[in-house]
Structure 1
């Protein structure tokens, strides 16, 4: 069996709170295989988003090991982590995180330009077309609806063709119709590109579309099931 795309072994995360250290994650061991879709579910405060951030090197594990594509993220410095994410990961947040002074096309092209792609704007245009927003290429985020902004964010995450796609409540700020459209795009485009998808969600119907569901409780894995179970 090939090595997992993501592998966490006995991962702990402790952050400093106002009253002292707070243990967010404790003893997380989890493997994600190439091409899998994995849903992270659980009550608020269970550690779902923190686990996703640790997987992406956006939070550094306090103890344990995090490996992605065979690389040990826990030994990388911040610059190396940033380059690794640029080259291998796409991240979609609930709050879009678009650059307000850039057009949709420029937002999507930015990570491609940072990676040195000579055809950054052509690929960005293709990315916007894939999410149905070619007609919004020259618009700024403030000129777009929430659903359109999230589609731009999705195009930006997928334009570099990442091996790993991480999504944190990608439909959390959207109404039902826009949320469903983003879900369909997220699964469709990740399947088309072959990206391994890990997403945080509170929505049972969204989790049910994943190959595996990992339920967290109090910073640990409570149970894992195949979505069909």
Structure 2
């Protein structure tokens, strides 16, 4: 495996809006080392979530090059991109994105089954235990609180032991105590699995828990040098 988990070279992103093309990202170059934790911060509309989506191959860069674990994702078709995400990435969104007709255990086990793991349900149960939801594994999302649903989403993202965790405002829909608990769990999962973590957040306090803070403004890297306080 390469020492660099994610590499972006002069990446741009232009999307179609109601009044025509909108330039979202402007020539971003950024390297994220394996095992590093990056906090992406900046005002609303600065391009944080779009940059995360490009890193995960969920949005296609208009120009430039995006490499993930040595693979140029700008050259991969949808099937190969899906396999790369399945085998190497975990993604946590602000909205929990759980399947409402599946139990917590089934939500966590499904991506493991799709990846061909024969012990999918055993691993899913262990991951739910690790986020404090062992006793709630048979409950459906509608029977869980927002904080519990986000714990299920974290368990689902981390169960495949991904090399990279991408988190987009994972505490945005939660109150203060639940948000703090989710962040503790997220950083704990990073430490336990040794994953590279890229975190989009509006919170400077959360960003300072990362190894490096990358500040975006108007779709450009404004500052990538600020280090977390010791």
With the shorter chain as reference, the TM-score category is over 0.9
Q: 2:77 aligns to what?
A: 77
5+ residue gaps, structure 1: none
TM-score, normalised via structure 2 length? 0.98
How many residues get paired?
228
1:147 equivalent to 2:147? Answer: yes
Q: 1:226 aligns to what?
A: 227
Q: 1:204 aligns to what?
A: 204
C-alpha contact (below 8 Å) 1:97/1:153 kept by paired residues:
yes
Extract structure 1 runs of 4+ deviating beyond 6 A. Answer: none
What is the RMSD of the two structures over their aligned residues, measured on CA atoms?
A: 0.8
Distance 2:228 2:25 in 1: 24
5+ residue gaps, structure 2: none
C-alpha contact (below 8 Å) 1:207/1:213 kept by paired residues:
yes
Q: 2:130 aligns to what?
A: 130
Distance 1:88 1:52 in 2: 15
Distance 1:62 1:155 in 2: 33
Shift of 1:3: 3.3
Distance 1:132 1:48 in 2: 30
1:37-75 Cα deviation digits (max 9, x unpaired): 100000000000000000000000000000000000000
Shift of 1:171: 0.3
1:13 equivalent to 2:17? Answer: no
1:92-125 Cα deviation digits (max 9, x unpaired): 0000000000000000001100000000000000
1:7-62 Cα deviation digits (max 9, x unpaired): 00000000001111100001100000011110000000000000000000000000
